Amino acid sequence: MNRITAICRNFLWGASSDYKNPPNISWGICCMPKDEGGLGIKEAKTWNKALLGKYVWWLANKKDHLWVRWVNHVYMKNSPWTDYKAPSDCSWSWKKIVFIMSLFKQAYVNHHWLNSSHEYTVKAGYDWLRGSHPKVTWYHVFWNRLNLPKSSFICWEYMHKRLPTRDRLLRMGCPIDPVCSTCCQADETHSHLVCECPYAIECFRILHCRLHVNFRVQDLISWFSTVRRISKFQKRFIGACHVALIYWIWRVRNEAKMNAVLRRPEVLVLQVIHDLKARVLTLNSAPFVPRDYAWLQNV
Residue placing its CB nearer to Zn ion in the complex, 184 or 294: 184
Cα 285 from Cα 281, distance rounded (Å): 8
Minimum distance from CB of 130 to Zn ion (Å)? 39
Q: Is 165 in the site for Zn ion (CB under 5 A)?
A: no
CA distance 239 to 227: 12
Alpha helices, H only, 72-148: 92-105, 122-130, 139-142
Sequence-separated (6 or more) residues with CB below 8 Å from residue 26: none
Shortest Å, Cβ 210 to Zn ion: 22
Using the contact rule CB under 5 A, the part of the chain among 76-84, 161-169, 194-202, 277-285 near Zn ion is 194-202
Choosing from 30, 129, 183, 194, the residue that interacts with Zn ion (CB under 5 A) is 183
**Contact between 262 and 199 (Cβ < 8 Å):** yes
Q: Is 182 in the site for Zn ion (CB under 5 A)?
A: yes
Q: Report yes or no: 245 and 237 within 8 Å, Cβ to Cβ.
A: no
Q: Compare residues 43 and 188 and give the one whose CB is closer to Zn ion.
A: 188
**Nearest distance, CB of residue 192 and Zn ion, angstroms:** 6
Question: Closer to Zn ion at the Cβ: 182 or 234?
Answer: 182
Q: State which residue, 163 or 197, has the beta carbon closest to Zn ion.
A: 197
Comparing CA positions, the residue from 195, 272, 155 lying closest to residue 264 is: 272
Please tell me the chain's helix, strand, coil percentages from 3-state DSSP, rounded to the nearest 5: 65, 0, 35
Listed ranges 65-73, 101-109, 195-203, 281-289: which one lies at the site for Zn ion (CB under 5 A): 195-203
Q: Any contact of residue 180 with Zn ion (CB under 5 A)?
A: yes
Is 154 or 180 the residue whose CB approaches Zn ion more closely?
180
C-alpha separations of 163 from 61, 250, 263 in Å: 49, 9, 21
Site size toward Zn ion (CB under 5 A) is 4
Q: Which CB atom, from 197 or from 241, has the smaller least distance to Zn ion?
A: 197
Nearest one of 238, 235, 242 to 204, comparing CA atoms: 242
When binding is defined by CB under 5 A, the residue of 197, 206, 221, 240 that contacts Zn ion is 197
Binding site for Zn ion (CB under 5 A): 180, 182-183, 197
